[in-house]
Structure 1
Amino acid sequence: MNVNGILSTILALDGGGSTAGKWIAAIVVPAILIAIAVRNIRIVPQATDFVIERLGAYIATWHAGLHIKYPFVDRVSRIVSLKEKVADFQPLDVITKDNVTLQIDAVLYYQITDSRLYTYGIENPIIAMENLSATTLRNVIGDLELDQTLTSRDLINARMRLSLDEATGPWGIKVNRVELKNIIPPKEIQVAMEHQMKAEREKRENVLRAEGEKEAAIRVAEGEKAASILRAEAKKESAIREAEGQAAAILKVQEATAQGLLMLKSVAADPPLLALKSLETLAHVADGKATKIIIPSEIQNLSGLLMSLKEVVKDDTSVESGS
């Protein structure tokens, strides 16, 4: 039974003048009014819009909060979520500028910014975005070669986002991001790319090995250089020490010679004794190793030498007899 029927029954009972009818009317009518009021009080959740129509025409958009609509004339046409959504489309075959067929699938992150435009702007907006993204992707990839397509994901994402965002603006949709999930080239190109990557890896490995060997050779050369320097320094130090030792020895000999000369000079050595020492020295000189002997002029006078020796012997004899 509808509301009109209930009201008619209540009025009939009330018109009959029965006490029961009055009590029923007093209870039922307020209950019906409360039910109608409660039914037309709506609470809109956060990040949600209600599109309201009055007698079939758009009248308002309700945002988060408490709202009351007119009964029987207002209705909620559409409940729109304002949260960011993800649209994952099927893989699409596209052709690059150098006529290579690729299979690419993209993901769209979009958000509804105008519930009225989203409701009345286009029929089936998700299908429209899928078709629009397909045409946009074909246009973008058609301007790029294979190598550029494989290495320019960010460029493709940015160009697609700008194009889609501009086209979906009149629909109340904002495209926040576009991401390419997979770029799948033909099988033969995949094999060629694998060979190329293998060659690149081997090249890098050879370069690294050569650099390592070079570094090792440099380290060995530096070590040998340091060792040579240390050996030269040690040899130099040894030569210096040896020269210092020889110089010290020569100095000691010279000092001893000078000391001997000073001692001879200090004592009053008589001529006969000096003559005897000269003969002893001459004997050492003529020890058979020399082929020539140079006799000083002081001892060339043999007679004077003999007389001197005689005096020396005489003096020795006198000393012995006196003792």
Structure 2
Amino acid sequence: MDMVMIGVAVLVIVLVYKGIVVIRNSERMVIERLGNYNRTLMPGINFIVPFLDQPREFIWKSPAGAGALGRLLGDSGDSSYSRLQSMARIDIRETVLDFPSQTVITRDNVSIQINALLYIEITNPHDAVYRISNLPNAIEKLGQTTLRSLVGEMELDKTLSSREDINARLQISLDEAADDWGAKVKRVEVQDLLVPEAVQAAMEKQMRAERDKRAAILEAEGSRQSDILKAEGEKQAAILVAEGNRTARILEADGEKAALDKLKEALGEQGFSQYLIAIRYLDTLNTIGKAGEGDKTVFMPIDATATLGAIGGIKELFQGK
């Protein structure tokens, strides 16, 4: 009898032990009873019915190996990537999935290598278990397809300069699909955009040509501005010289006018007229004489005595006054 009691006690202890499930704060566990969904275990101490209640396995990625960030294996067989693993405890923390590098073709028919990081977390363990058979693989394949489609709509230059746009559009597309699978895609980061060496060399050549072009434009613009400033300076200098000459002529004319006014006042109207005629006559003779310099021509006024008489008349005008 004692042995039976001991056996029963041991059985009860074993059943109680197997029925106690401790869930960490970052974990959830989906429980099935006789093959049907029963409940989702939350953090803390939970009790299940041994043998009747069983945890539903969930396919997720195993922790990355030493020195690896963690990347889905897919079908590549590369042991450096973390592998998909069936597990009972669902980690609801944000997890990083690393898409394998793939070859995509841009709109202008350039093949490039591209890969991306995806940050995802489980928000509904029930949907993550029952609505999709392999959530990481589905997200990876959808991400690769969407990324290939996005890059195919862009030319190479725009692809290289539009990482933020690609990240945002890829995140929105994946999050819409993941929402039905009980997960949320928090963000996506394109890692590498590798172009072929020949294309890279052509791009560098184009960049050098663009730099040379900009330098030539800047040099021409500088020369143009210099010429404009020089012309403006010469223009201002010419204006100042003209203004100076004009002012000098005005002052000279004003002085001559004042002198003539005084002379007219001193000689009278008739005498002043004779004076002007005599001065103009002498100036004309002087001009004609200078025009004949260097020639053997001898110029004699038609009426030399008239000239002397004009000079004498001027003298008499001043003496009379």
Indicate how the Cα distance of structure 1 residues 219 and 293 shifts in structure 2: closer, same or farther if over 3 A, else same. Answer: closer
Structure-1 residue corresponding to 2:299: none
Write out aligned runs for 1:87-98 (5 A): 87-98=97-108
Select which of 187, 190, 206 maps to 1:180. 190
Select which of 252, 257, 262 maps to 1:252. 262
Higher radius of gyration, 1 or 2: 1
**Native 8 Å contact 1:51 1:58 kept in 2:** no
Q: Distance in 1 between matches of 2:312 and 2:150?
A: 116
Tell me which moved more, 162-171 or 77-86. Answer: 77-86
Q: Distance in 2 between matches of 1:158 and 1:288?
A: 106
Q: CA deviation at 1:213?
A: 0.8
Select which of 274, 289, 299 maps to 2:308. 289
Select which of 95, 111, 119 maps to 2:121. 111
Q: CA deviation at 1:131?
A: 2.7
Indicate how the Cα distance of structure 1 residues 148 and 212 shifts in structure 2: closer, same or farther if over 3 A, else same. Answer: same
Structure-2 residue corresponding to 1:53: 31
Q: Distance in 1 between matches of 2:153 and 2:306?
A: 113
Select which of 237, 249, 259 maps to 2:247. 237
Q: CA deviation at 1:69?
A: 2.9
Write out per-residue CA displacement over residues 245-289 of structure 1, whole angstroms, 9 at most, x where no aligned residue: 22222333345557xxxxxxxxxxxxxxxxxxxxxxxxxxx9992
Indicate how the Cα distance of structure 1 residues 81 and 257 shifts in structure 2: closer, same or farther if over 3 A, else same. Answer: farther
Structure-2 residue corresponding to 1:69: 46
**1:136 aligns to 2:114 (yes or no):** no
Q: CA deviation at 1:233?
A: 1.0
**Native 8 Å contact 2:120 2:185 kept in 1:** yes
Instruction: Return 5+ residue gaps in structure 1 as ranges.
Output: 10-31, 259-285, 295-323
- RMSD over aligned CA atoms reads 4.0
Indicate how the Cα distance of structure 1 residues 205 and 253 shifts in structure 2: closer, same or farther if over 3 A, else same. Answer: same
Write out per-residue CA displacement over residues 75-133 of structure 1, whole angstroms, 9 at most, x where no aligned residue: 87755454443322232122345543211111223332222222444455323322332
Structure-2 residue corresponding to 1:212: 222
Select which of 206, 209, 229 maps to 1:199. 209
Q: CA deviation at 1:196?
A: 1.2
Structure-1 residue corresponding to 2:280: none
**Native 8 Å contact 2:31 2:41 kept in 1:** no
Indicate how the Cα distance of structure 1 residues 5 and 238 shifts in structure 2: closer, same or farther if over 3 A, else same. Answer: farther
Structure-1 residue corresponding to 2:199: 189
Select which of 89, 95, 115 maps to 1:85. 95
Amino acid aligned to 1:70? F
Q: CA deviation at 1:5?
A: 4.7
**Native 8 Å contact 2:23 2:42 kept in 1:** no
Write out aligned runs for 1:163-174 (5 A): 163-174=173-184
Q: CA deviation at 1:230?
A: 0.9
Equivalent position SS for 2:309: coil
Q: Distance in 1 between matches of 2:155 and 2:306?
A: 108
**Native 8 Å contact 2:30 2:125 kept in 1:** no
**1:226 aligns to 2:262 (yes or no):** no
Q: Distance in 2 between matches of 1:253 and 1:118?
A: 121
Q: CA deviation at 1:214?
A: 0.8
Q: Distance in 1 between matches of 2:309 and 2:267?
A: 24
Equivalent position SS for 1:69: strand
Structure with the larger helix share: 1
Q: Distance in 1 between matches of 2:312 and 2:212?
A: 88
Amino acid aligned to 1:114? N
Q: CA deviation at 1:293?
A: 8.2
Amino acid aligned to 1:69? N
Q: CA deviation at 1:188?
A: 1.1
Write out per-residue CA displacement over residues 29-71 of structure 1, whole angstroms, 9 at most, x where no aligned residue: xxx9xxx89x9696864xx45235264654444667xx55336
Identity of aligned residues (%): 40
Instruction: Return 5+ residue gaps in structure 2 as ranges.
Output: 57-87, 269-304, 314-321
Tell me which moved more, 163-172 or 54-63. Answer: 54-63
**Native 8 Å contact 1:132 1:164 kept in 2:** yes
Q: CA deviation at 1:241?
A: 1.5
Equivalent position SS for 2:209: helix
Count matched residues: 235
